[in-house]
Amino acid sequence: MTVPIFCVDAFTNHPFSGNPAAVAILDEDAPEEWMRNVAAEMNLSETAFVAKQSKGEYGLRWLTPTIEVNLCGHATLAAAFVLWEEELEPGDTITFHTKSGALIAKRVGEYIALDFPTIEVAPAPTPDGMMEALGLPADLPVHLGERYYLIEVESEAALLAMAPDFAKLKKVDAFGVIVTAPGADAEVDFVSRFFAPAAGIDEDPVTGSSHCRLAPYWAARLGKQSFSAKQISRRGGELKVRLLGEGRVELQGQATLVWKGAITAP
């Protein structure tokens, strides 16, 4: 017995860019140990495990090579893409039941729109050693939103020039760190990078969950509700971001299939 499994590059429209996620399509919930082993074997930032519950309704869990996470944007986008690309789901709306509640994906032309919760950030003390590990000035303001720290630097060039010491950053009491800046291109509102060595990911290529925090942050900074965003990792990715109100944000992106196959079932 085997389980269908796919590798999808998310938040991009061409292969070998964006953020790769593995997507396993299950007939029913799988044993915890098996899912952890599969995620470790895939060795991608996240592997999504999708189990159909009823028409348009699916259970969804996300595992890194080392831990399970509560919210993941790119692997949700990848999961929705696979269900539609493989004609496993006929409707244009999918509801995923997750540890972060019900998350809705919709087809919008060539894009997939994800309805996610916003996560507010607030000024916070700087964890010991974090700025040194990031190679940033110690006096930069730091914000915190549900285990992710957020720091704004002065320019996209400064953000691109960052070369964190990941061994040091892994020892810092910080699950993840978002560093952001205004976009250098007039058509891009803001850019970002995301580091999470404590979760087994030195730098994530494109991070949906970080944009749940970036959206309200930049709304306050720029006085607008809709944004064009780029994550300027080595692979890079693009998102359309829109605050919906009532604590929700819409993340729009594209995806492309890289490979598909099968893995031994539990």
- The reported pLDDT for the residue numbered 243 is 97
- The reported pLDDT for the residue numbered 36 is 97
pLDDT per residue as tens digits for the range 203-213 = 999 999 999 99
- The percentage of the chain sitting over the pLDDT mark of 90, rounded to a whole number, equals 95
Residues 154-170, mean pLDDT to the nearest whole number: 98
Please tell me if the domain spanning 2-116+252-264 has the same topology as the one spanning 122-246: yes
pLDDT per residue as tens digits for the range 122-141 = 999 999 999 999 999 999 99
Residues 196-207, mean pLDDT to the nearest whole number: 91
CA dist 79 → 38, 75, 135, 247 (Å): 16, 6, 36, 23
Quote the tokens at residue 151: 């720091």
Give the distance from CA 153 to its chain's centroid: 21
- The reported pLDDT for the residue numbered 201 is 87
pLDDT at 200 over 90: no
pLDDT at 199 over 90: no
Residues 66-92, mean pLDDT to the nearest whole number: 95
Selecting among 46, 152, 203, 238, the annotated active-site residue is: 46
Work out the pLDDT band at 198, boundaries 50, 70, 90. confident
Give the distance from CA 74 to its chain's centroid: 4
- The reported pLDDT for the residue numbered 18 is 95
| 85 in active site | no
CA–CA dist 238, 231 (Å, integer): 7
Domain boundaries along the sequence of the chain: 2-116+252-264, 122-246
Of the candidates 8, 147, 146, 137, the one whose C-alpha atom is nearest the C-alpha of residue 83 is: 8
Q: Would you state the CATH architecture of domain 122-246?
A: Roll (3.10)
Work out the pLDDT band at 91, boundaries 50, 70, 90. very high
Work out the pLDDT band at 116, boundaries 50, 70, 90. very high
Q: Which CATH superfamily includes the segment(s) 2-116+252-264?
A: Diaminopimelate Epimerase; Chain A, domain 1 (3.10.310.10)
CA dist 178 → 81, 113, 194 (Å): 26, 22, 5
pLDDT at 76 over 90: yes
Query: How many other C-beta atoms can be found within 10 angstroms of the C-beta atom of residue 173?
Result: 10
**Positions of E strands within the chain:** 2-10, 19-26, 46-54, 57-63, 68-69, 93-98, 101-108, 111-117, 122-123, 142-145, 148-152, 176-182, 190-196, 201-204, 226-231, 237-245, 248-253, 255-264
Of the candidates 150, 52, 56, 55, the one whose C-alpha atom is nearest the C-alpha of residue 107 is: 56
CA–CA dist 88, 41 (Å, integer): 25
What pTM value is reported for the model?
0.91
